[in-house]
Amino acid sequence: MQSRFVRYMLIWLLLLATIYLGEGLVRSLWLVGDVPRVVAARGELAPLEQNTIALFENASPSVAYIFTEGAVVTTPQGRSRQNGAGSGFVWDAAGHVVTNFHVVDQAKRVRVRLFDGTTVEARVVGTAPDHDLAVVRLADTRAGVRPIPIGRSADLKVGQSAYAIGNPYGLARTLTTGVVSALDRRLPTASHREIAGVIQTDAAINPGNSGGPLLDSAGRLIGVNTAIISESGSAAGIGFAVPVDTVNRVVPALIRDGRVPRPGIGISALPEDAAPDLPGIGVERVLAGSPAAGAGLRGTDRRSGVVGDVIVAADGVPVRSLGDLALALERAGIGKTIELTVLRDGQRIVVRVPVVDITGR
């Protein structure tokens, strides 16, 4: 009985071994994929995919690749001249292209590569350092340039889709997607002012994206990509764009006049690090003949070092930095009057000062 059981077990084990070895032999002889496989069918692309593809195909012909020679670049080692690259987009059929001011800052030569691959010489027609915007014009204006559709930024909502197109690291017309992460951010500029209403997005923005468009899901311009927060210099999920409502106000002025009026009252402020304990902006100097001089504002005594007036509020809103004051002046508008609350000799006084265009003063 025991020998019969052993015999059956051996037969069973032999069958298992035969099946195992045979299965491997069948796979190696008849199931090898040594010829192209049949392509599996798929259905329609998802609606979201179709929308993104259409958005890119419609918007990318408006995106430009900008090359500069001798532009001023700010690095941890200081400011220097070197060749650079960035992004931009076609504004109108006359060949005006919008980009960031820091892309073309004092560039000796600017060239623009268009959607069809041709590279065209361009000249800077206007810059707005306070808004990090600039406009260049193609020297050879050709038919077929496609202006980008313009949207609005005033009605943006956190969470809605955002799409960035640009040339990061020289990779032309790269699309990244994300959402509007936050609104009404404030971004410092090279002119020591701040851009108000800045859009924050998690759509990847890398070096080379500067000046490129940020779009909504309808393919309309909602911002100009301008900066990232990153210790390494690469995308970290936090990018910023100048809002299109600002762009749509600034760019026509740059095309028309080459500059944007700069609201001011005719003072120079004490550096914040020179008087960090002040509750507002210390007035260092009042320009002769300026609205501030006419209103009786007092500057710092250079001999004694006694701080002059300290501006602590503008139109009832607290002011703690030069950026705060610049935003208050912009909101008030050139030709209007702003009400400043000033600390003088320990007392609060209120003065009304006309806001004027200080560009070129």
DSSP string, 186-230: EEE-TTS-EEEEEEEE-S---TT-TT-EEE-TTS-EEEEEEEE--
Estimate to the nearest angstrom the gap between the alpha carbon of 130 and the chain centroid. 14
Q: Which of 202, 210, 245, 309 is catalytic?
A: 210
For 115-128, give one letter per residue: b (16+ CB within 10 A) or e: beeeebebebbbbb
357 is catalytic: no
| Separation CA 261–CA 358 (nearest Å) | 7
Residue among 251, 227, 211, 238 nearest 74 (CA): 227
Q: Count the Cβ atoms, other than its own, within 10 Å of residue 255.
A: 17
Q: Rounded distance, CA 123 to CA 339, Å?
A: 41
Q: How many CA atoms lie within 13 A of 231 on its CB side?
A: 0
State the DSSP H helix or E strand holding residue 295, giving kind and residue range, or none if neither.
Answer: none
Catalytic residue status for 309: no
Q: Among all chains, which residue has been given the structure tokens 């690259």? A: 85
Q: Among 102, 105, 130, 181, which one carries the catalytic annotation?
A: 102
Q: Residue 22 and residue 29: Cα distance in Å, rounded?
A: 10
CA 324 to CA 314: how far, in whole Å? Answer: 9
Active site residue 132: yes
The whole-angstrom separation of Cα 324 and Cα 336 is 18
User: How many whole angstroms separate alpha carbon 89 and alpha carbon 96?
Assistant: 9
The active-site residue out of 105, 132, 216, 309 is 132
Best CA proximity match to 151, nearest among 61, 239, 59: 59
Catalytic residues: 102, 132, 210
